[in-house]
Amino acid sequence: MAQVVNPMRLVQKRGGLNPAELVPLLLAWFRGNARDLPWRRTADPYAIWVSEIMLQQTQVQTVLPYYRKWMEELPTIGSLVKARSSRIHTLWAGLGYYTRVRNMQRAAREIVEKHKSEFPERFDDILALPGIGRYTAGAICSIAFGQPTPILDGNVTRVLTRLFGVGGNPREKKISADLWRLARILVESAAVLKGRSNCSHLNQALMELGALVCTPRQPKCGTCPVNFRCTAYLEGRVGELPELPRRAKTTERRFVAFVIESNGRYFVRQRPNEVVNGHLWEFPNCELSDGRDVGPCVAARAVLGCQPNSLAAALTVKHTITRYRITMEVYRARMTSPGRLRQSMGRWCSLEQLNRLPFPSAHRRVVNWLSRMPENNS
């Protein structure tokens, strides 16, 4: 049963939990503790947009090299519009959720066509762009343009539910709406203080506090700048909040993939646009489903349309995507007539070409493995 919350009552209760007190504490903490990240050294909305999209579902440390390379190669909206699809996929390869990068290019085209190549400043205009939701639009408006637009992501949700003692599932409509209202009250309180960057810093302070201090496990409440006003801390409920639903059980999935080489070239294929990891390249593979114990020979015949002369186990790649724990067994397949592989199924590429193509991370690991083979280093 969702807990009914009145945001104004929450900020007023205890006679001290009020934004006028909390906001300066959060701003001062952010000034002294924020990590020095490249997207924090700019007010360029394009750069902030790129960082925000990359940071969705992805850790800061993982994003850093991707962000630097992207900004080096595609520093402007114009350069993103002109970039080839294979280039943007290669720059994104490894970050996953590739619809994000395709939406970015669509959004960039809209900015050029509808906004004369100027990043729009109005919240509604930004929200109307492909792939941009309420959180990202709020982040761009506040960080790049200093507007009092709230943000609410996983980190901010955790901080707000604990600070204000908000029970119930934060993903439920009513609770979520209350949390958005609390986030708005805080950022609007920052806007009335003296200083140009307050809205940007307040929103980033909430994100940063959630990332560094108010962490999901073992939060560092002892060093938290708002601990003496935090409801969860004072009531001993930190471990209970936020009341997120249980995660779906993990599911094991097993794939087999085949590395076929002929005269120094490897056979790879491109995934169709409409599937997961669409547009990316991969080694021919299939999922072994239904718990049936299908051997690699049967799988090879099904995937390649013909029987290889021999199969040798090469490596096993393990990785996790959302709730799936995936094991991919990779075999080297020898074929006396590789020409039997239909050209329409894929294409033959040198190792150098493979290194330039975008692969999902599991298949990229196979390319890296091939690059380390003695035959490719002589």
CB of 221 to ligand SF4, least distance (A): 3
Exactly one of 74, 101, 143, 159 binds ligand SF4 (CB under 6 A); that residue is 159
Q: Rank residues 142 and 227 by Cβ distance to ligand SF4 and give the closer one.
A: 227
* Binding of ligand SF4 by 230 (CB under 6 A): yes
Exactly one of 39, 98, 233, 267 binds ligand SF4 (CB under 6 A); that residue is 233
Q: Are strands 251-262 and 285-288 parallel, antiparallel or unpaired?
A: antiparallel
**Would residue 208 show up in a list of annotated catalytic residues for this protein?**
no
CB of 237 to ligand SF4, least distance (A): 9
The amino acid that residue 371 corresponds to is: S
Q: Rank residues 105 and 161 by Cβ distance to ligand SF4 and give the closer one.
A: 161
Q: Of 21, 52, 121, 352, which one is the catalytic site residue? A: 52
Q: Using alpha carbons only, how large is the chain's radius of gyration in Å?
A: 25
Q: How many residues bind ligand SF4 (CB under 6 A)?
A: 14
DSSP label of 260: E
Q: Rank residues 233 and 331 by Cβ distance to ligand SF4 and give the closer one.
A: 233
Q: Rank residues 168 and 346 by Cβ distance to ligand SF4 and give the closer one.
A: 168
* Binding of ligand SF4 by 227 (CB under 6 A): yes
Which residues have C-beta within 8 Å of that of residue 161, sequence separation ≥ 6? 167, 170, 179, 232, 241, 242, 243
* Binding of ligand SF4 by 213 (CB under 6 A): yes
CB of 170 to ligand SF4, least distance (A): 14
* Binding of ligand SF4 by 214 (CB under 6 A): yes
Exactly one of 226, 268, 362, 367 binds ligand SF4 (CB under 6 A); that residue is 226
111 and 49 Cβ atoms separated by less than 8 Å:
no
Token pair of 285 as six digits: 């593979």
CB of 9 to ligand SF4, least distance (A): 19
Using DSSP, state whether 251 is helix, strand or coil.
strand
Q: Are strands 251-262 and 324-334 parallel, antiparallel or unpaired?
A: parallel
Phi/psi at 325 (5° precision) = -100, 115
* Binding of ligand SF4 by 221 (CB under 6 A): yes
C-alpha to C-alpha distances, 305 to 155, 308, 349, nearest whole angstrom: 48, 10, 20
Helix axes 173-191, 154-164, angle to 10 degrees: 90
Phi/psi at 97 (5° precision) = 50, 65
Token pair of 126 as six digits: 């930004």
Which residues contribute to the site for ligand SF4 (CB under 6 A)? Answer: 159, 162-163, 213-214, 219, 221, 224, 226-227, 230, 232-233, 238
Cite the active site residues.
Answer: 52
